[in-house]
Amino acid sequence: MTKIEVYSSMLCPFCYRAKKLLEQKGAQFTEIDVMLHPRRKAEMVARSGGRTSVPQIFIDDRHVGGCDDLYALEAGNKLEPLLQPAT
Q: DSSP letter string over 3-60?
A: -EEEEE-TT-HHHHHHHHHHHHTT---EEEETTT-THHHHHHHHHTTS--SS-EEEET
Number of domains in the chain: 1
In what helix (H) or strand (E) does residue 65 lie, and over which residues does it extend? strand 62-65
Helix/strand/coil for 80 = helix
Dihedral (CA of 69, 35, 33, 20) sign? negative
Write the pLDDT tens digit of every residue in 50-72. 999 999 999 999 999 999 999 99
In what helix (H) or strand (E) does residue 74 lie, and over which residues does it extend? helix 67-75
79 lies in which domain range? Answer: 4-83
The CATH number linked to 60 is 3.40.30.10
Asked if residue 86 has pLDDT above 80, the reply is: no
Dihedral (CA of 36, 18, 26, 83) sign? negative
Write the pLDDT tens digit of every residue in 25-55. 999 999 999 999 999 999 999 999 999 999 9
